Structure 1
Amino acid sequence: MRPITCIILPTYNEVENIRWVVRAIFAQSEKIDSHDLHILVVDDDSPDGTHEEVRRMMGKYTNLHLITGEKKGLGEAYKRGMAYAISQFHPDLIFEMDADRQHDPEFIPIFNYLATHGFSLVIGSRFAPGGSTPNFSLRRKAISLLGNWMIRFLGGIPRIHDCTSGFRCIKASLIPRCNLSFLSTRGYSFQSSLLCELLRNGAKVIEVPIIFPDRIYGESKLSFKDQIEFLFNLAKIRFRQSEEFVKYCIVGVSGILVNLGMYITLTRLLYLPPPLSSPIAIETSIISNFFLNHLWTFNGRHNAKGLFKKITNFHIVAGIAGLSNYSVFILLINYIGLYDIIANLTGIALGTLINYFCNSLWTWRRIRADGPAN
């Protein structure tokens, strides 16, 4: 039995388009010899009879499926569709695709091939070199480019050209790892939310340039409410990108308190000499910081390193950061003549950055999720 590629088509009032789209998608089956092609239509109770048209076609196409529900927006439709597809079909690949004929089904075999040859996320890109939006008005193009620029640079994913594309192929094993609960994902901002989560979870991405024409039938569902949600979502994505660093800094502050508390206990209550008390206090704070980071800051990052290996790496990084802190401090006070408190704060800032990035990229390095989850 071959693995399944499931194409999810969210619909609302697409009766004029759905028959053409379904036919065109299934016509690509003969070009894909590695997977069985399924289509899942997620219809939000369209009053124009879209779901009735799909049910009629289901008699002809055995791999055509339909679920219906209350209209709650594009993002909710995709979340519902993905959950259903994963539980019912156990697909290898999941496509996001519009049902309005703006996404060319001829790209499906290309996306499918790339997603089984080294990439876990394939994006049909309007803004990558070679892509275009030939019939966009100047205003619409400006809005799209501005929205993408905001996601790319404020969302921390500058290498992606089209962050709001609705034409994608995703390794299905990646989707359950994505936490979308903290975002407003009811509307069109779902696309940028999901992209950021996929990249956070190690998706290996490639963009394929596409031409994005105007709709032939029907009208765009993008509303003013969706645009407002996009702006709120952008702020949440920015926080999400900085969340680990904020947590790391909070843990660092707690480490200072642990260090100070242990030092006072050893010197004032146990009457140990300061030269002995200081390294004990430092080591106690390092161990405290490690476990707080392991259980809180980087919780959810699973890699092959054992606990002892992580603790060893954490100590090495702490030594490098401490040496950098001290070196900058000495340089600034002896050669630059900087006020010692400012020099010390500068050294601490540099040490904190080195500490965070080294531990993020080494001690708790993410595993790239190109294949199925283990």
Structure 2
Amino acid sequence: MNLVIILPTYNERENIEILLDALHKKAKNIAHYTCYFLVVDDFSPDGTGKIIRAYQKTHKDTYLLEKKKEGLGKAILRGMEYAVDTLHADFILQMDCDLSHDPDRISAFIQELDSGADFVVGSRYIKGGSIPSNWGIHRKIFSVVGNAIVRFGLGYSHVHDWTGGFRAYAVKYYFKLKDQMEAYGGYVFQIAFLHKAIQMGAQVVEVPIHFTDRKFGHSKIAPAEYIKNVLLYVGMNGSFGKFLMVGGFGFVINAGLLVVFREWIGLPPTIANLIGAAAAIFSNFNLNNIWTFKDKKINSFGMYVAKLAQFYGTSLSGVVLIQTGTIALGMKLFGDSQYFIYFLVGTGLLLIWNYTVYSKVIWKKK
């Protein structure tokens, strides 16, 4: 079988030859695979391509693809295409070229592929894995929280590391997803490809890796753009992200009616909140049914009525016990002048309750 190792590069002249030597040494111990090494370079101005061309003279199993810089995702996709069409890959392994990924861990990836895994992810966040101890606290938080948002936002918490670039997979997922993946050019490609493979039934296994900080060169990630794209992807593709957007619309309805019935009509805040919540719940049910949980959409009229009643029951119990209870407790302890602050706190607690009940009970898997 053919294993193609894709190495996307941009300005990695100090690292690429060291990595290739280590990979060739490791490949000698992989008896049942023919290994090819495919460097996908975006015309690095530091001369990375020139180094690879010189390296190819003594290493006929090393290949170079060069094209203008279009982002990591486009580079990986080009590499996949070449790996399949030209090198006839059965499996693809990809890794970073900055020496942050240890070639010695490739054996663990291959072992899982041989055991039947479709997709093997190198994970920094499971037992035995780690991130660099010399990272600043802000970078550690950025990494850990970012992965947590993706894990729970997309609803696949069993996978712990979504953003890493050390992974291996069967080429069938390239064939299934290549057209969809054209839309993702940057680092969010890693998240999207794994997410869509899971949706298609991929059996994912994680192996622990120690992530080492680069010694040469500079990171290519633009944090602000990366965060924006990750949040956008999760918001548009994950049930929790959609749930939050639906909830945001419901929040506007709830908050608006709360203010109207409290300030204009003079009802007590607790009663005004119940009226606003009832209207918001009806809106939320219908939007969640046709969008958030559309893969488990309730279609029959009888089931719709039954689930709507169940939705009202669970939602109102949360509103009464959690949201309105928080308002009442706040008023008792601190007075009613800050009732809207109590409302916000109660709403945050209510979100956790609602998503759990909606996904596990109302729209449970069939």
Cα separation, partners in 2 of 1:38 and 1:190, compared to 1, 3 Å: same
Does the 8 Å CA contact 2:77/2:178 hold for their aligned counterparts? Answer: no
AA in 2 matched with 1:10: P
Query: Residue 117 of structure 1 aligns with which residue?
Result: 115
The count of residues paired between Structure 1 and Structure 2 equals 271
Cα separation, partners in 2 of 1:182 and 1:36, compared to 1, 3 Å: closer
Report the Cα distance in structure 2 between the residues aligned to 1:327 and 1:148, rounded to whole angstroms.
33
The answer for unaligned runs of 5 or more in structure 2 is 247-293, 313-356
Query: Residue 269 of structure 2 aligns with which residue?
Result: none
AA in 1 matched with 2:6: I
Query: Residue 231 of structure 2 aligns with which residue?
Result: 231
SS of equivalent to 1:222: coil
Cα separation, partners in 2 of 1:242 and 1:138, compared to 1, 3 Å: closer
Paired residues for 1:175-190 under 5 Å = 175-178=174-177, 181=180, 184-190=183-189
SS of equivalent to 1:19: helix
Paired residues for 1:1-374 under 5 Å = 3-133=1-131, 134-178=133-177, 181=180, 184-224=183-223, 225-238=225-238, 361=366
Report the Cα distance in structure 1 between the residues aligned to 2:95 and 2:208, rounded to whole angstroms.
15
Report the Cα distance in structure 2 between the residues aligned to 1:77 and 1:329, rounded to whole angstroms.
50
Q: Deviations over 1:285-317 (max 9, x none)?
A: xxxxxxxxxxxx88xxxxxxxxxxxxxxxxxx9
Report the Cα distance in structure 2 between the residues aligned to 1:223 and 1:318, rounded to whole angstroms.
44
Report the Cα distance in structure 2 between the residues aligned to 1:236 and 1:182, rounded to whole angstroms.
15
AA in 1 matched with 2:2: I
Q: What is the CA-CA distance between 1:84 and the residue it aligns to? A: 1.5
SS of equivalent to 1:81: helix
Report the Cα distance in structure 2 between the residues aligned to 1:21 and 1:35, rounded to whole angstroms.
19
AA in 1 matched with 2:167: R
SS of equivalent to 1:24: helix
Report the Cα distance in structure 1 between the residues aligned to 2:150 and 2:192, rounded to whole angstroms.
9
Does the 8 Å CA contact 2:113/2:119 hold for their aligned counterparts? Answer: yes
Q: What is the CA-CA distance between 1:117 and the residue it aligns to? A: 1.1
Query: Residue 268 of structure 1 aligns with which residue?
Result: none
Cα separation, partners in 2 of 1:150 and 1:355, compared to 1, 3 Å: closer
Does the 8 Å CA contact 2:119/2:168 hold for their aligned counterparts? Answer: yes
Query: Residue 258 of structure 2 aligns with which residue?
Result: none
Report the Cα distance in structure 1 between the residues aligned to 2:66 and 2:303, rounded to whole angstroms.
61
Report the Cα distance in structure 2 between the residues aligned to 1:183 and 1:139, rounded to whole angstroms.
32
Q: Deviations over 1:199-230 (max 9, x none)?
A: 11111111111111110111100014233222
AA in 2 matched with 1:152: R
Report the Cα distance in structure 1 between the residues aligned to 2:307 and 2:109, rounded to whole angstroms.
51
Cα separation, partners in 2 of 1:183 and 1:68, compared to 1, 3 Å: closer
Does the 8 Å CA contact 1:39/1:65 hold for their aligned counterparts? Answer: yes
Cα separation, partners in 2 of 1:240 and 1:149, compared to 1, 3 Å: closer
Q: What is the CA-CA distance between 1:237 and the residue it aligns to? A: 2.3
Instruction: Using the aligned pairs only, state the percent identity.
Output: 34
Question: Normalising to structure 2: TM-score of the pair?
Answer: 0.66
Q: What is the CA-CA distance between 1:74 and the residue it aligns to? A: 0.7
Query: Residue 292 of structure 1 aligns with which residue?
Result: none
Does the 8 Å CA contact 1:39/1:64 hold for their aligned counterparts? Answer: yes
AA in 2 matched with 1:213: T
SS of equivalent to 1:42: strand
Cα separation, partners in 2 of 1:197 and 1:64, compared to 1, 3 Å: same
AA in 2 matched with 1:107: R
Cα separation, partners in 2 of 1:181 and 1:328, compared to 1, 3 Å: closer
Does the 8 Å CA contact 1:179/1:197 hold for their aligned counterparts? Answer: no
SS of equivalent to 1:103: coil
Cα separation, partners in 2 of 1:56 and 1:155, compared to 1, 3 Å: same
Does the 8 Å CA contact 1:14/1:100 hold for their aligned counterparts? Answer: yes
AA in 1 matched with 2:97: A
Query: Residue 289 of structure 2 aligns with which residue?
Result: none
Does the 8 Å CA contact 1:180/1:194 hold for their aligned counterparts? Answer: no
Q: Larger deviation: 107-116 or 92-101? A: 107-116
Q: What is the CA-CA distance between 1:68 and the residue it aligns to? A: 0.4
SS of equivalent to 2:77: helix
SS of equivalent to 1:15: coil
Q: What is the CA-CA distance between 1:89 and the residue it aligns to? A: 1.6
